[in-house]
A and B are shown apart, each in its own frame.
Chain A
């Protein structure tokens, strides 16, 4: 007998849940001979991929880590003084290990099921409170993707607030302070173009607001070159002219500078990155957005609010969801869905850990060092431009001097920012040391004698804090949450306490349809926090990021092989941004052929709400296509609508397999039909995980698709972000992928040019490669799995879904199936009949599942009153059986209501979830025993997850909105 010499750390069988025995049992239950026979019944033959995916052979876990170590070694982490909204900081190790590196936090889903999400909801409420306090604006959301897109959202919101003009075709004028960060200006311009908004760059101090009649203006505070302009007069003049003011700002600066709300800003946006989140060559980081109370309902993104549970205790939830795309679709305030929850949690915790005094000390130390640096430079005869600044010192000089200083900095592995031929900036941060300042002086003062006359210690005694009259006088973060957990022991326990209130993949499967809550393997996650990946500034010269560049090239090639396309962009920072970037590519393609008038976007009624919201942002008119009784796109309706709009047809957006969980047989007909009428096909990659290795969007006739790396390719959901949404395109769309036109500032091109004027598709994210550091996760996953492993994962995902459909069908009918009776990677089960039979609604089933230790499947999407279950390949049969057992047991509980054995009100379902406090109360008024409420099946007893609060009062939360930390006596 031959010996098996394969290494023991092979990954595929670790990623895939069912083992050979479980696989055989499930196949037997389904009555199919093997996986291939099942797939033949599931995936239409005319789209099946003939060969294997062209991917490198898989490696084991130790080897993938070794490869990533080697690649990490090709990144050079120079000392960054680049600034521009990205500042290095210390990630407190207690936060790094217990949040960023902790699956209890990073594997949680978005907090739709509020009762089992109270921990991160509290952490996000802290984030909102922190942002509201520091900006001086009362309503803050629970994060956006990056500072530049947050600024674009601000423009969009102000545009919506502007009174309708007589000339409805004109999108109006939006002014942008020329001292904004250049990447922000570019992203705002990209966003403005399809909406018909004219962006004008200007100096706000001299802008003639009355003449321009702009609907809004964007200011940068402090300015990109470090200055602290006095914006009070600017805000007053803008308001007089009916122009509203958005201000991009810096949270650390706001601990010492007068906040935007006191200056007159209507909106404040920015990045919370420097509150404890690594640079990561661009992200992920949480952006923030705050505004006045009267515009709460116009706010983009998620908003956490305070309400009560059924027992009258304080309980948190996501408020005002009716603003969002999943409900309001093409009328949504924004297409944003996934945000940056994990990073917002980290930044909020950074503020909890340091408290207001600690944060102010960091700001004063950073600003103090900047003042010392500036004074020293002046002593060395260097021209320092601004007398009032926070952390960024601007130096002016001749072009020869600037070039010389840049060169000297590079020789010492320091990245300065060349602002122009005659100016550079040096931005300091929390990590800057006195030694760094002295090394900076060396660049400017080669004369040792002059330099020995100055020292950090000596000058520290001479200078004062460099912001003078801009100093903040109002207090902030007075809430006890920010004034208690300052020792590591207290901090550790606070974070652990919150973590224990949340259900994550560390407890049980999260069977959310369309959300693909698969394994986020430890080996995939580990490299993200290595300093060689985390420490790079997004605008560091590419030559310092060879490791990253190699990852990008590899990943683009891998994703193209998987999707059947030829070019990719890794820039979009979330699935929604991928949709938007893909539609912009289609738009630019049509324009390039003189077909810019094409503006109709067909969208099936079953589509995710992001699709219509993105289409509107891309300047398109949404025309809805019906679905037939089988849940498929109604081909006759599609043909009719495509023909009706043939002159103006721009695109069809289609999800495959459909959001109904079926591989539609007609997909090739659908794409052909749209092409015949001159349209392009956008494939929504939300369900790409059912295709990998079996079929490819490019082969079905799609022209572009986005890929949710946080679904198919293992980036964790983080409780509601980060995500990544790269797009892959056919060759004819490749020229229209999003650009990031401005060159990295330290690269030394003759003139730093933020944009090439003919750029058709500008940037959609602040950083050229979006949230670059988490691309490592997807790269590692594909490297660990190889073509065969990825294909096996897809097949097992299909097997698992069909097994669940098989087990549940007799109890909850499966709503849609393919032509041969199979579902794809997820299935919709019907709960609607229970309402008439027993007065039970889908919410009741979802909440009762919590008592069994499970997170509910997707509720009421795509069909109201149903549950959509997606098991993924990572769940074992044992876990699937537990979920099915729980759902079947709940059906039996409903049957007791039907028969009259249990009442229609006050039963096990209506009272769910049951908290420990309710179960231990002296009084027990319910007709069922306590232990049946708490331990409905034997497996629950073995590892009980206790919901920390009872059923949320959603109505109260939306009627009486409260979105910052409530008084301390409400905390239990």
Chain B
């Protein structure tokens, strides 16, 4: 698998979500989506259900779901925090998740509440090692 499938600048979870961290005006923001591996498992995404701006999510809790023709999969939050932005174009164009999971296919952006939660996440190398362990 190429590095591009799992960009180095992201954090990953064993539930196959990613988080991209940035600092804006002293506030730590995390953009969240699902990994290439998750997308390949799902097949063509037909619907993305996301929470609303202003709601809070908790690490490892379900914050939404993605549907393909034959399956519904829960989305688990990699980090806790308050939602500051939702990728609303996904409601009309769920195919962005398949086409570009790390950019146009992002799902929510949160203001990170607990920076120490980052310690529990995987880097790209560890995530890929995890995938290999799982026999994928």
Contact = CB atoms under 8 A, between A and B. Distances in A.
| A is bound by B | yes
Contacts of A543: none
Interface stretch (B32-40, B63-71, B109-117): B63-71
A958 B72 contact: no
Interface string B45-63: 0110000000000000000
Contacts of B69: 321-322, 954-955, 958
A331 B71 CA distance: 12
Contacts of A954: 69
Contact of A322 (B44, B67, B95): B67
A959 B67 CA distance: 10
A321 B94 contact: no
Contacts of B71: 322, 327
Interface string B90-110: 000011000000000000000
The CB with the most chain A CB atoms within 10 A, among B46, B67, B71, B72, is that of B46
Interface string A306-327: 0000000000000001100001
A328 B72 contact: yes
Contacts of B47: 297, 322, 958
Nearest to A332: B72
A959 B70 contact: no
A958 B67 CA distance: 10
Contacts of B72: 322, 327-328, 331
A954 B43 CA distance: 11
Contact of B94 (A327, A331, A959): A959
A200 to B, nearest CB: 31
A958 B68 CA distance: 9
Nearest to A958: B46
Interface residues of B, number: 12
A321 B46 contact: no
Contacts of A955: 43-44, 46, 68-69
A321 B72 CA distance: 10
A860 B94 CA distance: 25
B104 to A, nearest CB: 16
Nearest to B43: A955
Nearest to A326: B70
Interface string A940-961: 0000000000000011001100
Nearest to A329: B72
Contacts of B70: 321-322, 327, 860
Interface string B69-83: 111100000000000
A640 B46 CA distance: 39
A interface residue count range (under 10 / 10 to 19 / 20 to 34 / 35 or more) = 10 to 19
B76 to A, nearest CB: 15
A328 B68 CA distance: 12
A919 B44 CA distance: 29
Nearest to A952: B69
Contacts of A958: 46-47, 67, 69
A278 B72 CA distance: 40
A508 B6 CA distance: 49
B93 to A, nearest CB: 9
Interface in A914-972: 954-955, 958-959
Contacts of A328: 72
A297 B71 CA distance: 14
A860 B71 CA distance: 12
Interface string A10-52: 0000000000000000000000000000000000000000000
A216 B43 CA distance: 37
Contacts of B46: 322, 955, 958-959
A955 B67 CA distance: 11
Residue among A328, A954, A958 with the highest chain B CB neighbour number at 10 A: A958
Contacts of B95: 959
Interface in A843-870: 860
A322 B43 CA distance: 14
Contacts of A331: 72
A865 to B, nearest CB: 11
Nearest to A859: B70
A331 B74 CA distance: 11
A449 B8 CA distance: 99
B41 to A, nearest CB: 11
Nearest to A328: B72
Contacts of B43: 955
Nearest to B95: A959
B22 to A, nearest CB: 31
Contacts of A321: 69-70
A328 B46 CA distance: 15
Nearest to A843: B70
Contacts of A860: 70
A321 B95 CA distance: 18
Interface in B18-42: none
A958 B72 CA distance: 13
Interface in A320-362: 321-322, 327-328, 331
Interface in A81-129: none
A943 B11 CA distance: 59
A321 B67 CA distance: 10
A490 B72 CA distance: 43
Nearest to B49: A297
Contacts of B44: 955
A827 B43 CA distance: 28
A954 B44 CA distance: 9
Nearest to B66: A322
A955 B46 CA distance: 6
A861 to B, nearest CB: 11
A25 B43 CA distance: 45
Nearest to B94: A959
Nearest to A860: B70
Q: Which one of A327, A860, A954, A955 has the highest number of Cβ atoms from chain B below 10 Å of its Cβ?
A: A955
Contacts of A297: 47
B8 to A, nearest CB: 29
A331 B44 CA distance: 22
Contacts of A322: 46-47, 67-72
A954 B67 CA distance: 13
Task: Determine which residue in A322, A327, A328 has the highest number of CB atoms from chain B within 10 A of its CB, and name it.
Answer: A322
Question: Among A327, A954, A959, which residue has the most Cβ atoms of chain B within 10 A?
Answer: A959
Contacts of B67: 322, 958
A214 to B, nearest CB: 24
A156 B34 CA distance: 32
Contacts of B94: 959
Most buried by A among B43, B67, B68, B69: B69
A731 B108 CA distance: 55
Nearest to A959: B46
A954 B70 CA distance: 9
Report, nearest first, the 6 A-B pairs whose CB atoms are least far apart: A958-B46, A955-B44, A954-B69, A322-B67, A322-B72, A959-B46
22 contacts: A297-B47, A321-B69, A322-B47, A322-B67, A322-B69, A322-B70, A322-B71, A322-B72, A327-B70, A328-B72, A331-B72, A860-B70, A954-B69, A955-B44, A955-B46, A955-B68, A955-B69, A958-B46, A958-B67, A959-B46, A959-B94, A959-B95
Given A322-B68, A959-B94, 10 more contacts: A322-B46, A322-B67, A327-B70, A328-B72, A860-B70, A955-B46, A958-B46, A958-B47, A958-B67, A959-B46
